[in-house]
Structure 1
Amino acid sequence: MNFIMQKKLFIQSKTDNSKNESGIRLNKYLSDSGICSRREADRLIADGKVYVNGKKAEMGMRITSNDKVECNGKIASLEEDMVLLAFNKPAGIECTTDRSNPDNIIDYIKYPKKIFYVGRLDKNSTGLILMTNDGDLANKIAKAVNCHEKEYVVRVNKKITDDFLAKMANGVPILDTVTRKCSIKKTDDYTFNIILTQGLNRQIRRMCEALSYKVLDLHRIRVMNIRIGNLKTGNYRNINKTELDELLKNI
């Protein structure tokens, strides 16, 4: 049985959304509707793909219950129920809501409600992705400043040395910064587990490359308290109440 938590319905009085502080910001509305994350909503608005009441939307607009919002030709409306799924992403599936991409994660899952991914895994990586229609929840989980843990199993192309482990743990210079200190443990000559509290672009792959290693397989097994467990590749499951309660306590 699906685990569903009731969301507060959005009810506002009619107003001029470009001048009045009633309603909610357009990017949050799109996020809460399950269309995309707030960041992607900002990009879609900037690209002219969002319309409010038939007119091209502007950044920062506020939306009320009387407004008609369209994104990429589809009507956006707020969901009454919150959905949160754990999905075991296969290699080759991309974390994008762009339906013109044949490998997009949304069409692969075919979930009956509008949902989007929380955080990313690159196309060649596998493992746990959280999927939701709740923008606020997604932002709190994914926001880098919150330092939420994500755990991975990584296999590399050559034997792991103590020097490699020490440098990975203490921070590696990539992307004009130094990665945060992290927990890392060798599990065999070519494989290690690593727990990160940040999410730089292709972080683990870049860290390894900076130390002259190449990642062969990268598999995420945990986000905060949510574990992938024995979930089969390509399948998803609903987050249970115990998991959700613990998650909400820590965001």
Structure 2
Amino acid sequence: MPLNYYVIYKPYEVLTRFTPEGNKSCLADYFKVPQDVYPVGRLDYDSEGLLLLTNDKSLNSRLLLPQHAHEREYWVQVDGAITNAAIKQLKEGVQISVDGKIHRTKPCFAEIFAAEPFLPPRNPPIRFRKSIPAPWIRMILQEGKNRQVRKMTAAVGFPTLRLVRYRIEHITVEGMQPGDMVQLSREEIHRKLQLTSF
């Protein structure tokens, strides 16, 4: 059975699975891949951006094990004029609830974008309110708890309005549109994810 590797830009409000649930869209509505291919990790229904699809089970386990600590970069639009103090809190780690338990997030990189980043428009767009700023921040994490980024920005007082996973290690969605898919070779995926041993 050949090993297949795909980089996709998951659109907003699409389930990270190939089987539908109720009236929600799923990956099968956008991406045609062999039957044994599945997503590596997850990306929330209301989040967009980079997702890897493969039938290589070893890649799945290596990417998801916490000790491998792969960088994941998120571009996050928040509700309100986020402060440098809030950014400092995000960098140092905040307390969030994970599976009913308190979890302190690991130190991470966070900064405010000087200008709005270039991204495809979201469909539907976020609700625009003239009186309330909605700036963008960049966050780079090395852990991936359930809805972690949203919980982190909420913990410092600036709820997430739009969330795009832009990068995992050296794989990005730069130049891609929601619904786009790129196939990579095993060598390329290992190199870009910095997986040294095959």
- TM normalised by structure 2 equals 0.80
Aligned: 1:87 with 2:87: no
Shift of 1:110: 2.1
Aligned counterpart in structure 1 of residue 179 of structure 2, from 231, 234, 244: 234
For each residue in 1:17-73, what CA deviation from the matched residue of structure 2 results, as whole angstroms up to 9, or x when unmatched? xxxxxxxxxxxxxxxxxxxxxxxxxxxxxxxxxxxxxxxxxxxxxxxxxxxxxxxxx
Indicate the structure whose relative CO is greater, using CA pairs within 8 Å and at least 6 residues apart: 2
User: Residue in 2 aligned with 1:120?
Assistant: 42
Is 1:200 the equivalent of 2:145? yes
Q: Which residue of 1 aligns with 2:86?
A: 164
Cα distance in structure 1, aligned partners of 2:80 and 2:187: 40
Give, in angstroms, the shift of residue 112 of structure 1: 3.4
Shift of the alpha carbon at 1:139? 1.2
Structure 2, unaligned runs of 5 or more: 115-133
Question: Size of the alignment, in residue pairs?
Answer: 172
- Choose which of 98, 102, 105 in structure 1 pairs with 2:19: 98
Letter in 1 for 2:196: K
CA contact (8 A) 1:89 1:128 kept: yes
In structure 1, which of residues 180, 186, 196 is the aligned counterpart of residue 112 of structure 2? Answer: 186
Alignment-derived partner of residue 249 in structure 1: 196
SS in 1 for 2:25: coil
For 2:159, the aligned partner's letter is: K
TM-score (norm 1): 0.64
Matches within 5 A, 1:32-111: 80-100=1-21, 102-111=24-33
Q: Aligned-pair distance for 1:136? A: 1.2
| Deviation of the 1:159 alpha carbon | 0.6
Between 118-127 and 136-145, report the one with greater CA deviation. Answer: 136-145
Q: 2:155 aligns with which of 185, 210, 226?
A: 210
2:5·2:186 contact (CA, 8 Å) conserved in 1? no
**C-alpha contact 2:66 2:143 (8 A) present in aligned 1:** yes
Describe the superposition over 1:54-110 as per-residue Cα deviations: whole angstroms up to 9, x where unpaired.
xxxxxxxxxxxxxxxxxxxxxxxxxx1111110000001011343455522234312
Q: Which residue of 2 aligns with 1:173?
A: 95
Identical counterparts, % of pairs: 29
Q: Are the aligned partners of 2:4 and 2:185 in contact in 1 as well (CA < 8 Å)?
A: no
Shift of the 193–250 alpha-carbon distance from structure 1 to 2, 3 Å rule, reads farther
Question: CA distance change for structure 1 residues 205 and 100 in 2, over 3 Å: closer, same or farther?
Answer: closer
Give 3-state SS (helix, strand or coil) of 1:109's partner: coil
Is contact 1:93–1:105 with CA below 8 Å preserved after alignment?
A: yes
Secondary structure (helix, strand or coil) at the match of 1:209 reads helix
For structure 1, the residue ranges without an aligned partner over 5 or more in a row are: 1-79
CA distance in 2, matches of 1:118, 1:228: 16
Q: Distance in 2 between matches of 1:114 and 1:99?
A: 17
Aligned counterparts of 1:144 and 1:241: Cα–Cα separation in 2: 22
Does the aligned pair in 2 maintain the 1:225–1:243 contact within 8 Å?
no
